Amino acid sequence: MAARCRRSWILVLVAGLAGLVLYRAMWLIPGARRVGLDRTPNSTGALPALAPRPDHPLAPALQRARESYAHIDRAIKDYTATLVKHERVGDELVEPETMFTKIRHEQLQNGRVVTPFSVYLRFEGPERIKDREVLYVAGHNDGKLLVRENPRSLTGKLMSTTSLNPAGMFAMRGNRYPITEVGIKNLIQRLIDVAEEEMRYDECEVTIDPSAQLDGRKCQCIQVIHPVRRSYFRFHLARIYVDDQQNVPISYESYDWPQVEGQQPPLIEKYTYHKLQLNVGLTDRDFDPANPEYHFQ
């Protein structure tokens, strides 16, 4: 069963990465398996689009991706982790941010939401945002997220809680994605969505390194390269690391095409989940602003 899950995850991520909204770099893993799909550009330098077809090389992977999403939906209820986020927002590469996270997936019963999607974040760095707390529960607090800012940012006084639109200007400042899209399950959904779109195009190179490690844990590293810049590709290179034991992705990074040949490709975004603990039994108390362990006012 574990081996089948691992194979499923690999296919999930190959499908998604071949079209995901993010990642790039310019080297291949030595000794890894490589698949190159090439066609001749038209006179404009763009590859002609293909209609999605059942015999596309990514079609079986996409099917497995859907099956794996269903497995996550069924088997993983919640988790905690230390998330390190490093993003380019506009033209600026924002310094890495580290946060302790609690995430609980939405649960349905007879088509009715009995447990809403829930997120708690406590920032550990950098110093300018240390101790910031963020809380979001879908369908609660008028659909807004709650933020309690670093108390040291204003003369050491405890700041009151602020309610923000998750997709609004203030909540999105310094972020590529709203809090409603955070987490592993949302990542897999994006992989599926974009893979379905990019099945119209064949051009990509895929490598799988079964001997990678991250945080001392054995992983599968899946890497996808789009060798030539195309208007419909979102990244030059992307990598994702899948934990062998937990059978979930624990790191994802993407890079843009370098401006000058021979330069290192610039980072677009990178997310790594350290100390990931699955199904820890999070309850409503973990997402209650009145929790005495938190500082929401």
294 has pLDDT over 90: yes
**Is the pLDDT higher at 31 or at 170?**
170
Residue-level pLDDT at 36:
33
d(CA 133, CA 289): 10
Confidence of residue 161 (pLDDT cuts 50, 70, 90): confident
d(CA 157, CA 151): 6
188: left (phi over 0), alpha (psi -120 to 50) or beta: alpha
Asked if residues 6 and 244 have their Cβ atoms less than 8 Å apart, the reply is: yes
Say which residues have a Cβ less than 8 Å from residue 66's Cβ, sequence separation at least 6: 192
Residue-level pLDDT at 108:
87
Q: Report phi then psi at 9, rounded to 5.
A: -65, -40
Confidence of residue 37 (pLDDT cuts 50, 70, 90): very low
Q: For residue 87, what is the enclosing H or E element? A: strand 78-89
Confidence of residue 197 (pLDDT cuts 50, 70, 90): confident
Please write the tens of the pLDDT for every residue from 104-156: 999 988 889 999 999 999 999 998 889 999 999 999 999 999 999 865 555 44
